[in-house]
Every structure is written in C-alpha cells, then in structure tokens.
Amino acid sequence: MSLPPLVEPAAELTIDEVRRYSRHLIIPDVGMTGQKRLKNAKVLVIGAGGLGSPALLYLAAAGVGTLGIAEFDEVDESNLQRQVIHGQSDVGRPKAESARDSIKEVNPLVEVVVHGERLDNDNVMDVFRGYDLIVDGTDNFATRYMVNDAAYFLGIPYVWGSIYRFDGQASIFAPSLADDAPCYRCLYPEPPPPGMVPSCAEGGVLGVLCAAIGSIQVNEAIKLLTGIGDPIVGKLVIYDALELEWRKLKVRKDPNCALCGENPTVTGLIDYETFCGAISDEAAEAAADATISVSTLEQWIKERENGERDFVLVDVREPNEYEINKIPGSVLIPKGDFLNGSALEKLPSDKQIVMHCKSGVRSAETLAIVKGAGYSDAVHVGGGVVAWVNQIDPSQPSY
C-alpha cells in the first residue's frame, strides 16, 4: 500500500550535504525533498548486533538526521563474524559506543543518541518517545513483544527483522498508519513453546544473512520516511539464503488480536519474560532442586576418577558444538534424541545422569524428560559449558 511520508522535510540541505547525498538527489523518487525528509527523521535502532550493524551503517550513510541506538551489551569476539559495525579493537567495549564511533566515521553529519541501558517496562516508553520510526534488530521473543506493544501504544511504526542460520524474515508493523495494518501479535499471537526455537547463540547464523535482512529493513525505513514506493506493511518477506529464494506473504490484521483487535486484552505493558518463558514450567520444576554448579561437577569428576562416585555426563548440544569445546568425559546425546525418545535407550539404568548444554536451557528441558522417565536422581549443570570454560578450563574456546 502507498503511504504518506512519515516526516516533514527539513528547511534546506547544506552544500556538504548536497555533495554527500548527490546519488540520492538525482533519483527522481527521492530528490531534494526526500533527502530533506531523511535529514529531519529520527530513527531508533534496537540492538547494535547482527541486524543493527548494517541497519545503523546504511541509515547513517543515507543521511537520517538523528539515529538512536538502544543497546546494553558489550562487544564479544564471537560477534565479529557478523556484527560489522564493530572491529577487533572494540572487543570489550559497550556496543552502543562502538556503533556510535563507527557511525561518525561513516557520516559525521548524523546526530547519534546512545541508549545504553537494557530496555524494560520501566524505560521503554521513554526511550521510544520522540522517534518517528523504530528498526527492530532484537534477538529474543520477550523483547520483540515488548517492542511491538510499546510501539503500538505510542503510535510509532516499526520495521521488524529476524534471522536464524540461513533463513531471514522482515515486515513492517504499523497499525497507526492504516486501519488494516497488522501488528506483530497478529502474525505471532503467542510465542513458541519454551526451548522449541533455539537462539542464534545456540543455533548459529550465517554472517552475511544479517546484511541481507538488515538492508531490507533500511530499504523499508527509507520508503516509510520519504513516502515512496510500496512498503511491506501487511506483508512478510521470507528469505532462504541456501536456495536463494525470496517469498512475500500477505499478513492480515487479526480482528481478535489481543493488542490491536476489536476487543483487546493487552492494554498495557505486561511481564514479557513470564509471557515468553525462557524454559517450560516442567523444566523449571525439574531443575529447581536438581541443578549443580560447574565447580561441583569438577569435584564429582575427580571423585569418579577415584572410584568414589559413578555417573554419566551427557552433553545435549549438537555435534558441531561438541567439536568446539567439551567437558572431559562427557557423552554426546543431542536434545533432539530426547524429544523423539531414542536417547532413553542409551542411558544406563544403574547410574546417575548428569546433563549439560551450552548455558543450561536445553539441559533443563531434557532433564524434565529424563526425570519423567524415572531417573529421579538426575541433575543438570547450571551455566553449562560456558560456565565450565569461564570458571574451570579457560584454555578451551568459547562461542
């Protein structure tokens, strides 16, 4: 659908700006007026990670006058494979500050506003207020639902993107711009069951996929800000990088949507962590009194070597993760084998079962399955192999 521009044009462009944006100015659809709208625009990018990196760089290069960066994390070496706004010398720095410095190198004419705190119910409305558009580069469901709800309450449209391994998605959620425009809850009324959708940290992501989806987000942002083209409001773009296939699906406004429907039940910000649930209730119950630390596990391994204790240490990660690092003496049985039931045949009935994964989420889910199968003394390792590498064996790589 064709939409009016979100932003009024600035009074003028300087000579330096005309020189810088000349390739935009000679595009009839953008021209001087479109570039003035970009100059006058205020865009908030949530996250300076995989999607936020290309989004921030291209929004800055395009001449968006004010760019907000909402990011609380620090640069880690594992980020550099895809988060191209950061460099090796930025490892350990706040991502928001690193991104700000990169933006200034790309375009010193852009005003950068850093929001270095974690977004939550207490600050999200204040952070969002005053921006014309939001570009969402978040990587977890709890934050996505919070962004959607806060943007809806403030009447701010936002461009959403999502990436995983070789697959990407993008859309625009903007009920404030059109009566039939959906919100994120229209597309995903409920979050997936806890533990069913791995994060990028667990499942990985092809680095260049971030550029593909991030650039789509910026393309749509420019269209909204300047009022050109046909923005993907009410559409879902799906990209398969392995097959190099693009699909575009219709997303309809849900009249029964809990937020933007005819009889809304979500009328304010909610507890998003509880709504999405990091782990299932069954996993939380199973892990409540059956979680050991990596220091306890280290002691148990020593006792096993001395014949004082007997147990089976099960790693429920994927084989490619097991190749990166491992806890000595562990046996690899991926989580999928527990879900389909085949793993139970591999577990001895006369030994205690100790389970671990990367961080403790997947092992908690599989712990519930194992306990349900009668292994009442089974436990899992809180913090998983990440905690093991950080606290016990730093000679191994982390990921």
Task: Catalytic residue, from 200, 257, 260, 276: name it.
Answer: 200
The rounded distance, in Å, linking the Cα atoms of 116 and 97 is 8
Beta strands in 36-181 (DSSP E): 42-46, 66-70, 111-115, 133-136, 158-164, 167-173
Per the annotation, the verdict on 357 as an active-site residue is: yes
Instruction: Give tens-digit pLDDT for 322-362.
Output: 999 999 999 999 999 999 999 999 999 899 999 999 999 89
Q: How many C-beta atoms lie closer than 10 Å to residue 386's C-beta? A: 18
Which of 67-81, 156-170, 271-285, 360-374 has the lowest average pLDDT? 271-285
CATH of domain 281-391: 3.40.250.10
Task: Catalytic residue, from 183, 210, 276, 357: name it.
Answer: 357
Nearest by Cα to 175 from 268, 256, 260, 250: 260
Give pLDDT, residue 195: 63
Q: Where are the domains of the chain?
A: 15-276, 281-391
Specify the DSSP element, H or E, that contains 136. Answer: strand 133-136
Topology classification of domain 15-276: Rossmann fold (3.40.50)
The rounded distance, in Å, linking the Cα atoms of 220 and 172 is 8
Instruction: Give tens-digit pLDDT for 225-272.
Output: 999 999 999 999 999 999 999 999 999 999 999 999 999 999 999 999
The rounded distance, in Å, linking the Cα atoms of 314 and 357 is 9
The rounded distance, in Å, linking the Cα atoms of 65 and 41 is 6
Polymer length of the chain = 399
Bin 63: left if φ > 0, else alpha if -120 < ψ < 50, else beta: left
Per the annotation, the verdict on 260 as an active-site residue is: no
Which two tokens mark 108?
């010193």
∠ CA 182-275-358, nearest 5°, is 110
Q: What is the chain's Cα-based Rg?
A: 24
